[in-house]
Chains A and B, each alone.
Chain A
Amino acid sequence: MSNTDVVITGIGATTPLGPDVTSTWDGLLAGRSGVRALEADWAEAYDLPVRIGATLAEEPTEKIPRVRARRLDRCEQVALIAAWQAWEDAGYSLPSDDGEDVEPERLGVSIGTGIGGPVTLLEQDDNLEQHGMRKVSPLTVPMLMPNGPAAHVGIELRARAGVHSPASACASGAEGIAKAYDMIRSGRADVVVAGGAEACIHPITIAGFAQARTVSTRNDDPERASRPFDVDRDGFVLGEGAGVMVLESAAHAEARGARVYGKVAGTGITSDAYHITGNHPDGIGQIAAMRQAIEQAGVTTRDVGHVNAHATSTVVGDVGEAAAIQKALGDHPVVTAPKSALGHLVGGAGAVEGIATLLAIYHGVVPMTLNLGELDPKVELDVVAGEPRKMELSAAISNSFGFGGHNTALLFTSA
């Protein structure tokens, strides 16, 4: 390993499949679905066409004490929980009066979110309308701001090398990790806590996505609603959750004898400059992102044995990505679409799926895509279905694309 290598020493997550990485990974391998009928009374009250969502397996307040939780938007809560887990998994303790495990000036944070805290904004607007300005919480702005999740993690872990919060819709979590990789490679930090978070399942987001005709309305069969690459797919399922990784320079990790899961070997970030929600029809940005990651990693397309697809289960998006993967890499990569089980965690998606990609290499097994009854004939890829596929992997790519035309590809390799 060279000094500019960036390794992963800790991982954490809270998702619709489970309150930590182990339960989430086990859920993916077992073929469990995190999609459920929404129990909130608003689903019926607003006559929404969508009554399903991938809600968290465990309420964040199980882990965050009441008084602290009321100062945090739900998006900030899930980021903090995932960060705690990743930090502990890396073998670090929380800073105390006695000092820190990582020099604060060498520790950074890069945690993205797609939307941030719209639920806080709406709740406080209700307070304003119904009770007047005195009842608006003084924490309104710090709870709704999209840099809130990253900022809280930075304060918690005492990170002074810069706290960043990429906002690139559904690519935010992946871009969080890409930014962290750059921070370490450029010498700005030795350790960066990176990932993404989202928690905005609310009538306004559901209504907005539904009006854009991007979400599944398979309300009578929640667990089968998210079906990427299947001929009968009809949109994504909105989810919530967070994923966080501890990235370290190889030298820093080696000096302390840390356990290493693998490397972030390359990243690709491009933008379509085409349409605010639609992907470029020729997939130019997606293809370029995958190629950039390969080039930066110094591997060949043959080395990339697996792609963890962005595949959200939309009619147009999935076939576009399938064609882009083929053009960028060829027919050989084994593909899976974890949103079939997790739903779409928006800003959390790229980070949680990055963790799944890393674990596929680490454990030598690719989880299956759920609900793949009949592969869309336009998808000419080897998509894992039915059961997990055991295979030795040296390199794999995780794709994440977002509204706005953002394309991020993360290339992970074994340690």
Chain B
Amino acid sequence: MADKTELLTGLAEIVEEVAGVAKDDVTAEKSFVDDLDIDSLSMVEIAVQAEDRFGVKIPDDELANLKTVGDAVDYVAANSK
């Protein structure tokens, strides 16, 4: 299982690149939609980049369940090779 701190850092970089949210604001408890103001189109881009970076598959029905940054980190940690 990958280190969750490293995953959070990597995910924050992707979120900053795609949605322009400062890396430091991307913390585990934040909701992508309600706190970070990320729309569904940007979520798709973030998911594709996360898949490539962490070697994980994020099917659409799983993506819909990843409400917070922490949810995404946990999912990647549990499913990456």
Contact = CB atoms under 8 A, between A and B. Distances in A.
Interface residues of B, number: 8
Contacts, number: 15
Nearest to B52: A134
B19 interface: yes
Interface in B16-33: 18-20
A67 interface: yes
A137 to B, nearest CB: 7
Contacts of A139: 41
B48 A134 contact: yes
A134 B46 CA distance: 12
A137 B45 contact: yes
Interface in B44-62: 44-45, 48, 51
Nearest to B19: A67
Interface size class of A (residues with CB under 8 A): 10 to 19
Contact of A138 (B19, B20, B44, B51): B44
A68 interface: yes
A135 B44 CA distance: 10
A65 B19 CA distance: 11
A275 interface: no
A134 B51 CA distance: 10
Interface in B61-79: none
Contacts of A138: 41, 44-45
A65 B45 contact: no
A68 B45 contact: no
A66 interface: yes
Interface string B1-37: 0000000000000000011100000000000000000
B65 to A, nearest CB: 19
A287 B26 CA distance: 62
A135 B20 contact: no
A234 to B, nearest CB: 44
A135 B41 contact: no
B20 A66 contact: yes
Contacts of A134: 48, 51
Contacts of A65: 20
Contacts of B18: 67
A11 to B, nearest CB: 30
Nearest to A67: B20
Nearest to B51: A134
Contacts of B19: 67
Nearest to B21: A67
Nearest to A140: B41
A311 B48 CA distance: 48
B20 A68 contact: yes
Contacts of A67: 18-20
B43 to A, nearest CB: 9
Contacts of B41: 71, 138-139
A134 B63 CA distance: 15
A146 B81 CA distance: 43
Given A65-B20, A134-B51, 5 more contacts: A67-B20, A68-B20, A134-B48, A137-B45, A138-B41
7 closest cross-chain pairs (CB), A and B: A67-B20, A138-B44, A138-B41, A134-B48, A139-B41, A138-B45, A67-B19
Interface of B: 18-20, 41, 44-45, 48, 51
15 contacts: A65-B20, A66-B20, A67-B18, A67-B19, A67-B20, A68-B20, A71-B41, A134-B48, A134-B51, A135-B48, A137-B45, A138-B41, A138-B44, A138-B45, A139-B41
